[in-house]
């Protein structure tokens, strides 16, 4: 006997059904009312991460069947690539120091990691030795730009789907990412899969992973 879906699973399915309908539309993608701001967030309960991946697979299949292309972008992989560029000594040093601090104070260890990882995530021009470094936002823009240059005929029928966001908790702010991405996505629609919770008091406020204080600094549509 199949168990009925939980409220989180039902909300996830509803979100993907709405997104699918707005993407596969006769007049083009309708995830935003502004042609020049083609961003959306799909909020989901972190507890249904594996169900989310199934829904992403189904959505990608349906989009391809409708003549679309899907450009998956993993924030976890982008961050790993940045860490690798700094070499094994950097990773070994940070890991050893974090463990040492954690034995004394978990809060101090977390603060230490924030100080080390936030420059990689936000971009400072110092983290990877690249002048004008724009952090992960710049990396996402670069992925989209390479794709657009390689497949210019696909740009109008491509969705950039940004996932594995939860791997960056608690060092990441999606609202900041959106601000830095604005104007740098070649007009490709971008949907960010957001693990977290909505604030009942404010429909546009989101709490990352359902733990951090709610952030209401969001312009795009939030599904569901």
Q: Pseudo-torsion of CA 156, 160, 161, 166, nearest 10°?
A: -160
Which of 28-37, 143-152, 169-178 reaches the highest mean pLDDT?
A: 143-152
**Which tops the pLDDT comparison, 157 or 3?**
157
* 121 within a domain of the structure (yes/no): no
- What Cα–Cα distance (Å) separates residue 200 from each residue in 70, 80, 123, 128, 213? 32, 34, 33, 40, 13
**131 pLDDT exceeds 80?**
no
User: Mean pLDDT, the chain, as a whole number?
Assistant: 88
- The pLDDT value recorded for residue 130 is 53
% of the chain residues with pLDDT over 70: 93
How many domains does the chain divide into? Answer: 1
pLDDT tens-digit series, residues 47-66: 999 999 999 999 999 999 99
- The pLDDT value recorded for residue 126 is 43
End-to-end Cα spacing for the chain: 28
**26 pLDDT exceeds 80?**
no
**Which tops the pLDDT comparison, 62 or 25?**
62
C-alpha span between 160 and 154 (Å, rounded) = 12
* 161 within a domain of the structure (yes/no): yes
Domain encompassing residue 69: 7-76+135-223
**106 pLDDT exceeds 50?**
yes
* 129 within a domain of the structure (yes/no): no
* 18 within a domain of the structure (yes/no): yes
C-alpha span between 202 and 194 (Å, rounded) = 17
* 92 within a domain of the structure (yes/no): no
Q: 163 forms bridges with which residues in the sheet?
A: 74
Helices first, then strands: H and E counts in the chain: 7, 6
- Please say whether the beta carbons of 60 and 207 come within 8 A: no
- The pLDDT value recorded for residue 118 is 86
3-class secondary-structure state, position 64: helix
C-alpha span between 186 and 153 (Å, rounded) = 13
* 57 within a domain of the structure (yes/no): yes
* 122 within a domain of the structure (yes/no): no
Helical H runs in the chain? 7-23, 49-65, 75-85, 88-104, 106-122, 135-150, 174-181
* 30 within a domain of the structure (yes/no): yes
- The pLDDT value recorded for residue 2 is 53
- The pLDDT value recorded for residue 123 is 77
- Please say whether the beta carbons of 126 and 37 come within 8 A: no
Q: Pseudo-torsion of CA 34, 11, 42, 146, nearest 10°?
A: -110
20: enclosing H helix or E strand:
helix 7-23
Task: Assign residue 65 the CATH number of its domain.
Answer: 3.40.50
- The pLDDT value recorded for residue 25 is 79
126: enclosing H helix or E strand:
none
**Which tops the pLDDT comparison, 140 or 203?**
140
- The pLDDT value recorded for residue 127 is 45
Task: Calculate mean pLDDT across residues 7-22.
Answer: 94
């Amino acid at each position: 006997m199949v168990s009925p879906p939980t409220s989180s699973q039902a909300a996830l399915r509803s979100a993907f059904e709405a997104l699918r309908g707005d993407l596969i539309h006769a007049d083009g993608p309708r995830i935003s009312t502004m042609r020049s701001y083609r961003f959306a967030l799909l909020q989901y309960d972190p507890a249904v991460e594996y169900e989310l991946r199934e829904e992403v697979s189904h959505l990608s299949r349906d989009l391809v069947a409708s003549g679309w292309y899907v450009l998956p972008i993993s924030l976890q992989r982008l961050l790993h690539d940045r860490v690798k560029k700094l070499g094994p000594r950097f990773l070994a040093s940070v890991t050893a120091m974090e463990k040492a601090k954690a034995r004394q104070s978990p809060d101090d260890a977390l603060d230490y990691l924030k100080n080390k990882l936030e420059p990689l995530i936000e971009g400072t021009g110092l983290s990877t030795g690249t002048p004008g470094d724009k952090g992960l936002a710049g990396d996402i823009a670069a992925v989209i730009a390479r794709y657009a240059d390689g497949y210019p005929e696909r740009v109008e029928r491509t969705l950039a789907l940004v996932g594995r966001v939860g791997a960056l908790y608690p060092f990441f702010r999606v609202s900041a990412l959106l601000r830095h991405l604005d104007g740098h996505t070649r007009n490709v629609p971008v949907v960010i899969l957001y693990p977290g919770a909505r604030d009942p008091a404010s429909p546009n406020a989101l709490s990352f992973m359902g733990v951090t204080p709610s952030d209401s600094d969001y312009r795009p549509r939030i599904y569901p």
